[in-house]
């Protein structure tokens, strides 16, 4: 879907900007990239969290149509990567919305993650959690890192200061969701699920970033351009989410050799920059070849017949959690 022109104009009119302090401390980025290798493995990520993780209930009340329980706990991400999570972000806050009476023997609960700019709990509680009560589904609303109750004092609105804050945000949410899923299971809730709706913020983020500043900072430190740039990949097509390894789980009828070709066509920022610096003419031919090659592969994907959905009734979320088709 193309970016709305109204969204672009709106973002240009806003005074706040993203990543105003740059990429973040290089050593912190390096620790984040190394820890990503642990978190990207389902088993090792799941084992980072003990089953009985301490959670504090702050408040609970009975409303006219539901029970509302508020709680908090220290983000496990802050424990595994000390010094990377700001004090205001360390504690994860959540609000649990439960029906007064369950419709069946099951007690399904869904965790709702925030979209860009979705601070506090009101929006998700009234637009998502309460409508689900009508069909007997409870909800947990998680406060996003750097938002609402977890927003640093010197941060304006949703505009995080560093690129590294985005990695911290994602890492915190992954581990915090595991904590809450474990907790729900121990309390007898289930089936369990996780959902989130984008508010379109990242689609127009490019209009609120000082790209020249980030570029200057990138070339000013060799750790950025000589080391960190080698562990990233340039992703610029809809098939480049590294989800191809899950295709067999859903029994999609795509040709895996084409997926492998797509993945092998990625280049790192380090490779691209050095190619452009060393030989402009050859690099342009190289980039042009890669672009045309990828376009040809994508056109071959479009000509494929539609896939047949899996007949499985459960889709794996983590080792012990499954989301049932409704």
Mean pLDDT across the chain: 76
Q: Is the pLDDT of residue 303 over 70?
A: no
Q: Is the pLDDT of residue 201 over 50?
A: yes
pTM of the model: 0.70
CA distance from start to end of the chain:
27
Check residue 280 and give its pLDDT.
47
Lowest mean pLDDT among 65-69, 93-97, 241-245: 241-245
Number of domains, the chain: 1
274 inside domain: no
Residue 62: band (very low, low, confident or very high) from pLDDT cuts 50, 70, 90: very high
Question: Is 80 exceeded by the pLDDT of residue 125?
Answer: yes
5/112: higher pLDDT: 112
What pLDDT does 157 receive? 84
Residue 43 has pLDDT above 50, yes or no: yes
Is residue 273 within 8 A of residue 218, CB to CB? The reply is: no
Q: Above 80 in pLDDT, residue 263?
A: no
- The pLDDT of residue 292: 57
Residue with more model confidence, 319 or 29: 29
Confidence at residue 270, expressed as pLDDT on a 0 to 100 scale: 58
- Is residue 298 included in any domain, yes or no? no
Q: Is the pLDDT of residue 273 over 70?
A: no
Domain presence at residue 295:
no
Q: How does pLDDT run across 166-178, given as a tens digit for each residue?
A: 999 999 999 999 9
pLDDT at 256: 47
What pLDDT is stored for residue 2 in this prediction? Answer: 54
| Chain mean position to CA 210 | 23
Q: What's the mean pLDDT in 139-160?
A: 91
Residue 317 pLDDT greater than 90, yes or no: no
Q: Is residue 276 assigned to a domain?
A: no
| Residue 32 belongs to domain with CATH number | 3.40.50
Query: What is the Cα–Cα distance from 279 to 180, expressed in whole angstroms?
Result: 52
52 domain-assigned: yes
Range of the domain at 129: 5-209
| Whole-number pLDDT of residue 319 | 35
Residue 178 lies in a domain: yes
Q: What is the pLDDT of residue 4?
A: 54
User: Is residue 263 assigned to a domain?
Assistant: no
Beta bridge partners of 37: none
Least confident of 214-218, 272-276, 306-310: 306-310
Question: pLDDT grade, residue 198 (50/70/90)?
Answer: confident
Q: What is the pLDDT of residue 202?
A: 57
Report whether pLDDT(87) > 90: yes
Q: Which pLDDT does position 151 carry in this prediction? A: 94
């Amino acid at each position: 879907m193309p970016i709305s022109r109204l969204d672009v104009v709106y973002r240009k009119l806003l005074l706040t900007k993203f990543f105003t302090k740059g990429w973040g401390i290089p050593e912190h980025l390096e620790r984040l990239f190394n820890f990503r290798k642990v978190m990207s493995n389902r088993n090792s990520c799941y084992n980072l969290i003990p089953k009985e993780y301490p959670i504090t209930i702050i408040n609970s009340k009975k409303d006219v149509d539901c029970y509302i329980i508020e709680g908090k706990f220290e983000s496990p991400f802050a424990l595994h990567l000390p010094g990377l999570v700001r004090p205001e972000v360390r504690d994860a806050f959540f609000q649990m919305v439960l029906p007064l009476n369950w419709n069946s023997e099951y007690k399904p609960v869904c965790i709702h993650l925030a979209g860009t700019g979705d601070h506090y709990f009101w929006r998700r509680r009234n637009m998502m959690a309460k409508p689900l009560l009508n069909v007997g589904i409870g909800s947990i609303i998680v406060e996003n890192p750097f938002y609402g109750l977890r927003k640093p004092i010197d941060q304006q609105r949703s505009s995080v200061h560093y690129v590294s804050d985005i990695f911290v945000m994602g890492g915190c949410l992954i581990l915090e969701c595991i904590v809450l899923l474990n907790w729900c299971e121990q309390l007898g809730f289930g089936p369990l699920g996780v959902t989130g709706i984008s508010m379109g913020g990242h689609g127009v983020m490019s209009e609120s970033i000082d790209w020249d500043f980030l570029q200057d900072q990138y070339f000013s430190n060799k750790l950025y351009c000589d080391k960190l740039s080698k562990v990233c990949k340039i992703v610029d097509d809809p098939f480049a989410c590294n989800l191809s390894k899950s295709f067999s789980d859903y029994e999609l009828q795509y040709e895996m050799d084409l997926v492998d070709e797509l993945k092998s066509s990625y280049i790192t920022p380090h490779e691209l920059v050095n190619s452009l610096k060393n030989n402009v003419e050859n690099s342009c031919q190289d980039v042009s070849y890669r672009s045309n090659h990828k376009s040809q592969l994508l056109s071959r994907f479009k000509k494929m017949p539609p896939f047949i959905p899996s007949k499985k009734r459960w889709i794996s979320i983590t080792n012990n959690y499954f989301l049932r088709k409704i």
